Amino acid sequence: MSVRILHLADLHLGATFPSMGERGPERTRDFLNAYLRAVEFAASPDHPVDLVVIGGDLFDTHDPEEGLVFQVESSIERLAKANVPVLLVPGTHDAYSYRRSIYRRLRVPAGSHIFSGPTLEPGPLLTVRGETVQTYGIAYDPTVAERPLREFARTGTADYHVGILHAALQDSPTWNIRPSDLPIDRKEIAASGLHYLALGHYHNY
């Protein structure tokens, strides 16, 4: 058996594009429509995925406008009705550490989960077609500079272990990765024992 994950990240919903002039609002709508198409795919009757993970920066700001928040809450509810859990981690743009962070008031249904702690922690233990999936996640916090995988150890005896990080893979000497970017490297990934690591932040595959 394999676990089918729809991995989304850096959707930046609500982003504006002043440099595009009168085409800016159209581009803002493009971002939202792309997200909503992904939701419809995941919730379709043929059940193409088992869970949706969002690796940070779902919103372009920590305090998005309420109409957009309502659309996102409705989309997560749509997935819940299709028995598809959603796991979210706050990113750099929509960080949990803000007093008015959207993640302090975003309503998610039972079965979905927002990771709010500044260290990599276990989340829900899911059952997918008779096998177990242990999840882990971390809320990006700009006041905490650490390597989230350095001290990480997976927990329990689940069949699969899945991590969600809004972090920076140190894979190129030309990238200016700061300690506050939650840096990780391939050795730390290999030592983590994770079967899948869903990343966001640097807009790369």
| Polymer length of the chain | 205
The pTM assigned to this predicted structure is 0.93
Does the structure show a pLDDT above 90 at 24?
Answer: no
Q: What pLDDT is attached to residue 161? A: 97
User: CA angle, 128 as apex, 127 and 131 as ends, to 5°?
Assistant: 70
Q: What band does 171 get if pLDDT is binned at 50, 70 and 90? A: confident
Mean pLDDT computed over 130-149: 89
Does the structure show a pLDDT above 70 at 150?
Answer: yes
Least confident of 21-35, 58-72, 135-149: 135-149
pLDDT digits (tens, 9 = 90+) for 52-104: 999 999 999 999 999 999 999 999 999 999 999 999 999 999 999 999 999 99
Residue 18's DSSP bridge partners are none
- Looking at every residue in the chain, the average pLDDT score rounds to 92
Q: Which long-range contacts (CB under 8 A, 24 or more apart) does 115-121 make?
A: 115/87, 115/88, 115/89, 115/90, 115/139, 115/164, 116/90, 118/143, 118/144, 119/144, 119/146, 119/148, 120/148, 120/149, 120/152, 120/163, 120/165
